[in-house]
Amino acid sequence: MSVATGFEALYGAAPDGVWAAPGRVNLIGEYTDFNDGFVLPLALPHTTVAAVSRRADGVLRLHSADADGGVVQLALDALEPLSGGWAAYPAGVAWALREAGHAIGGADVHLASTVPTGAGLSSSAALEVVTALALNDLFGLGLTRPELARIAQRAENAFVGVPCGIMDQMASACAQEGHALHLDTRDLSHRQVPFQLAAEGLELLVVDTRVKHALGDGAYAERRAGCEAGARALGVRALRDVDLAHLPAALGRLDGTTLRYVRHVVSDNDRVVRTIALLDAGATREIGPLLTEGHASLRDDLRVSCPELDLVVETANAAGALGARMTGGGFGGSAVVLVDADRAAGVAAAVRSAFADAGYAEPGVFPAVPSAGARRL
């Protein structure tokens, strides 16, 4: 059943429109987005699709084909942050729009998604961005894509209660087919970087370890606080203001956890810059070593990897991949593997068999085709 048909079965009339927003994988630049740094995500072909009609009575009715519990009905005037449940994501978007002074009258929403949830592929941002774009269009708000991404981030930070950066929402809102998005998280300036895998005989595999990350737990907030402490100790506004040339001197003024966190953020920010230079030069296969270096930094300095992610990277590289790294918040979730297309099946098989040998659940493996950002269908 299409999402529009599902909407009609549920609410008794055709929707005013249907919108889609994708999940994403980040090619490189991890834990840089709350340090005003650079990231390089791409949108996946997997999307969250929402059929939506406007209402004029201040009522929000929310339904997901992927969640139990039927229709959630809320009054816009009574929305309370941190109310819990999946509906907090779309309700949080409505709340954040109103907080920012935008008049919306209510809506009926039915959605369904092909983005795996809790896999580090940003099903949460897809859900927020599709809601924000639909409400923007239906109520003629005229917000830009970066403005919608900010609204979506505010919904997740303040309403759902997850202290995420801006990367996921910007990727879902602004990505273009065949490109990765070079995003400067300080001012949200961004550029589409050509990322043509097929033309160069390459594939970027996503390996979902099936280990559920829980960004809500303390580890993410602890890394974030540690990075802020590092910036304060170095007297900079954010770690993005420490360039690689000055890193050795900066590290001499730090110790312990803070030193490791700063070393990761500053070096990964630089890896984004070097990756983009290679992509602009048409040298896509040469980014492989940067991916693997980035993984080592996340594993050893930031310490946000886990045995399953490390096994993907080690096994893929040993089986002939060009490079690999965990992607997203870590502690589970997914890894990306850059590989020659003719070796992709062999690398995927090697990872599956290493997981079986280790007694881990079978991982999900699929190619990341750089796809379009949010749109009205």
The site for ligand ADP (CB under 6 A) is made up of 48, 64, 66-67, 86, 89, 111, 113, 117-124, 127
Q: How many residues bind to Mg ion according to rule CB under 5 A?
A: 1
CB of 12 to ligand ADP, least distance (A): 22
The CB-of-354 to Mg ion minimum distance in angstroms stands at: 27
Q: Return the closest-CA partner of residue 268 out of 27, 34, 33, 30.
A: 30
Rounded to the nearest whole angstrom, what is the least distance from the CB of residue 253 to ligand ADP in the complex?
Answer: 35
Question: Closest CB to ligand ADP among 120 and 370?
Answer: 120
Given the complex with ligand ADP, which of 64 and 315 has the nearer CB atom? Answer: 64
Shortest separation between residue 173's beta carbon and ligand ADP, angstroms: 15
Binding-site partner at residue 234 among Mg ion, ligand ADP, none, CB < 5 to 8 Å by type: none
State in angstroms the smallest separation of the CB of 31 from ligand ADP. 15
Contact of 121 with 157, CB cutoff 8 Å: no
Q: Using CA atoms, how far apart are residues 284 and 65, in angstroms rounded to an integer?
A: 38
Contacted entry of Mg ion, ligand ADP, none for residue 176, CB cut-off 5 to 8 Å set by kind: none
371: DSSP letter: B
Assess whether 208 carries a catalytic annotation. no
Handedness of CA 219, 224, 228, 233 (dihedral sign): positive
Least separation in angstroms between residue 277's CB and ligand ADP is: 29
Residues 86-125 vs Mg ion: string with x where CB under 5 A? --------------------------------------x-
Classify strands 59-64 and 107-113 as parallel, antiparallel or unpaired. Answer: parallel
**Roughly what angle, to the nearest 10 degrees, separates helices 256-280 and 218-234?**
90
Burial class (CB in 10 A: 0-12, 13-18, 19+), 157: middle
Q: How far is CA 33 from the centre of its chain?
A: 11
Closer residue to ligand ADP, CB minimum distance, 208 or 268: 208
SS3 114: coil
- By C-beta, is 37 or 333 nearer to Mg ion? 333
Question: Quick one: DSSP state of residue 199?
Answer: G
Binding-site partner at residue 327 among Mg ion, ligand ADP, none, CB < 5 to 8 Å by type = none
Which of ligand ADP, Mg ion, none has residue 227 at its interface (CB below 5 to 8 Å by kind)? none
Can you name the residues that pair with 206 across neighbouring β-strands? 336, 366
CB 294 within 8 A of CB 325: yes
Is the Cβ of residue 124 or residue 269 nearer to Mg ion in the bound state? 124
- What is the DSSP secondary structure assignment for residue 346, as one 8-state letter? H
- Cβ(207)–Cβ(351) below 8 Å: yes
Residue closer to Mg ion by CB (options 165, 323) is 165
Please say whether the beta carbons of 41 and 180 come within 8 A: yes
Residue 16 binds: one of Mg ion, ligand ADP, none (C-beta under 5 to 8 A by kind): none
Whole-angstrom distance, CA of residue 194 vs CA of residue 176: 9
The item of Mg ion, ligand ADP, none sharing an interface with residue 48, based on CB under 5 to 8 Å by kind, is: ligand ADP
Catalytic hit among 33, 36, 108, 168: 168
Tokens of 217: 């737990």
Residues 194/182, Cβ–Cβ less than 8 Å: no
Q: Compare residues 113 and 124 and give the one whose CB is closer to Mg ion.
A: 124
87-109 b/e with 16+ CB inside 10 Å = b? bbbbbbbbbbbebeebebebbbb
Question: Could you identify the residue written with the tokens 């990872």?
Answer: 351
State in angstroms the smallest separation of the CB of 17 from Mg ion: 25
Question: Which residues sit at the interface with Mg ion, rule CB under 5 A?
Answer: 124
Q: Which sequence positions are flagged as catalytic?
A: 168
